[in-house]
Amino acid sequence: MATTSLPPTSMQFSVLDRYLKNYSRLEGWFWPDSIAIWDSLLSFQKSAGVAGHFLEIGVYLGKSAVLSTLHSRDNEACILVDAIIQKDLRPTIDSIKPSNVIYAQMRSTDMLHSGALAKHPANFRWIHIDGEHTGMAVINDLNIANTLLNDDGVMIVDDFFNPQYPQITAAVFDWLRVHPIELTLFLIGDNKGYLCRPRSTHSYLLYVKDSLFDDMVARDRPNVSIWKTTRAADMNTFGITPRFGNFNYIGPDWNKKIIEI
Ligand SMILES: C[S@@+](CC[C@H](N)C(=O)[O-])C[C@H]1O[C@@H](n2cnc3c(N)ncnc32)[C@H](O)[C@@H]1O
């Protein structure tokens, strides 16, 4: 996997522009910093030649799924799973991807036995877990996502570090403790945790360290700071927060200028 992103061009922003113009007012739970983080990471995947299918568990009206779907290539399937598929979801997604989308109305606990994934090999590059917010459901959804994510993909867990749903954060760390070499948490921010395979951890960490801040600025979200406050062996995870002081990047308390990955 390549480790640099392309410089922003108007071509690259055509997806984001289309999203902001036509879909950002959809009702849902997907905020401006996350929109910019997703668009940055998906653009990075594009520049690095990463390919694979897309899965979202917990779609509602598609506020987040629309942005990832806009980034999908024609031959990449988008699988949208929700306990209740809203009637307005299909027309919204049809307007951007008329084929190669599967709408699976089911609880995610039924996914493995339903055949919903039968036609798609375990080759997914973008998986968003935003369904039932219990610890049990998150463990179930992580287990499913772990069977599907490819070596270069990103898995996102919603409401990570949200005090309203502490069970989600606990479930993710419990899962990681039992599966220490299957996924790594490389970024936390704006309510979401971002995980990838160990094979691509360094590429994503390097991308966050070298490019994410600039890519946020280029997407008109400059009021953020990106934290990496300890040594790699202690915790190799970045955090992105609302702007702190004059810092683009903030290192450990003992030397805020050092960003070690
Ligand atoms: C917070 S909303 C998703 C928000 C959406 N991603 C967005 O961008 O606005 C949670 C969704 O998960 C669905 N859901 C709840 N429990 C579920 C389960 N066990 N399996 C699948 N979907 C579930 C709900 O029907 C609801 O549409």
Q: Whole-model pTM?
A: 0.95
Checking if the pLDDT of 19 tops 50, the result is: yes
pLDDT tens digits along 143-161: 999 999 999 999 999 999 9
Q: What is the CATH number of the domain that holds 176?
A: 3.40.50.150
* Residue from 38, 132, 133, 164 to probe ligand 1 pocket by mutation (most atoms less than 8 Å from CB): 132
Domain membership flag for residue 44: yes
200 close to ligand 1 (CB < 6 Angstrom): no
Q: Is residue 8 part of a domain?
A: no
Total tally of structural domains belonging to the chain = 1
In a domain, 48, yes or no: yes
Cα of 58 from ligand 1 centre, angstroms: 3
Amino acid at 10: S
Task: Give all strands (DSSP E) within the chain, no chain letters.
Answer: 53-57, 78-82, 101-105, 124-129, 149-158, 184-189, 192-196, 224-227, 238-242, 249-250
- Domain assignment present for residue 9? The answer is no
Domain that holds residue 132: 18-223
On whether residue 203 sits in a domain, the answer given is yes
Nearest to 42 by CA among 189, 159, 207: 207
**pLDDT per residue as tens digits for the range 154-180:** 999 999 999 999 999 999 999 999 999
Distance CA 122, CA 17 (A): 31
Q: Is the minimum distance from the CB of 69 to ligand 1 under 6 angstroms?
A: no
Does residue 159 belong to any structural domain of this protein? yes
Is residue 251 within 8 A of residue 62, CB to CB? The reply is: no
Report H helices in 51-165: 63-71, 89-94, 111-114, 135-148
Q: Is residue 259 part of a domain?
A: no
**Better pLDDT: 2 or 127:** 127
For ligand 1, say whether the CB of 84 is within 6 Å of any of its atoms.
yes
Tokens standing for 250? 């903030």
Asked whether residue 62 is assigned to any structural domain, the reply reads yes
Please, what is the Cα angle at 206 between 158 and 38, to 5 degrees?
A: 30
Task: Find out whether the beta carbon of 149 lies less than 6 Å from any atom of ligand 1.
Answer: no
